[in-house]
Amino acid sequence: QVHLFQSGAEVKKPGASVKVSCKASGYTFTTYYLHWVRQAPGQGLEWMGIVNPVGSTTTYAQRFQGRVTMTSDTSTTTVYMELSSLRFEDTAVYYCARGGGIAALSDAFDIWGQGTVVTVSS
C-alpha cells in the first residue's frame, strides 16, 4: 500500500527553523517526484516546491527561495523540507505529496501525507 508518513507537529518561535520529514513506502521511491504544499488556517493550498529523489534536484516557488531547503535520502526513502527564518504567517499545515516522475501516469498529486501542523508563536 502506497503511503507517505510525515513527522509530528512542531511549535517554533519567530526566526527559528523547522524541518519536516516525509517517509515514503509501498512504491519505488526513485521513480516519483515529491512536492511540498502548505495550507494556512482556513485558507487554500500553496505549492512550495518539488524534489526529485534522484540526486535531490529541486525547484522552489520564488516566494520561498532562500528560506526553504528540500532534500531526499534514498537509503531511508524520506524527503525533508526545512523552512528557516520562520514568521507568524508560516503557521500552517504542511503536506508532502507525490506527483510526476518516470512511473507516474500524470504530474497530478495522487498520494498525500497526513500533514504536519507547524505553529509559529512567541
Partner 1 sequence: DIVLTQSPDSLAVSLGERATINCKSSQSLLYSSKNKNYLAWYQQKPGQPPKLLIYWASTRESGVPDRFSGSGSGTDFTLTISSLQAEDVAVYYCQQYYYTPRTFGQGTKVEIK
For 77-91, give the DSSP string: TEEEEEE-S--GGG-
Stretch that binds partner 1, among 24-32, 74-82, 84-92, 108-116 (CB under 8 A): 108-116
Q: What is the 3-state secondary structure (H, E, C) of 6-71?
A: ECCCEEECCCCCEEEEEEEECCCHHHCCEEEEEECCCCCCEEEEEEECCCCEEEECHHHCCCEEEE
Does position 113 interact with partner 1 (CB under 8 A)? The reply is yes
**Beta strand pairing status for 116-120 and 10-12?**
parallel
Three cell numbers, residue 109:
498529486
Site string for partner 1, 54-93 (x = CB under 8 A): -----x-xx-------------------------------
Count of Cβ atoms closer than 10 Å to residue 102 Cβ: 10
Please report how close the Cβ of residue 107 comes to partner 1 at its closest, in angstroms.
Answer: 4
| Minimum CB distance to partner 1 smaller for 42 or for 122 | 42
Residue 103 or 108 having the CB closest to partner 1: 108
The residue range among 11-19, 22-30, 81-89, 110-118 that interacts with partner 1, by the rule CB under 8 A, is: 110-118
Q: List contacts with partner 1 (CB under 8 A).
A: 35, 44-47, 50, 59, 61-62, 95, 97, 99-100, 105-110, 112-115
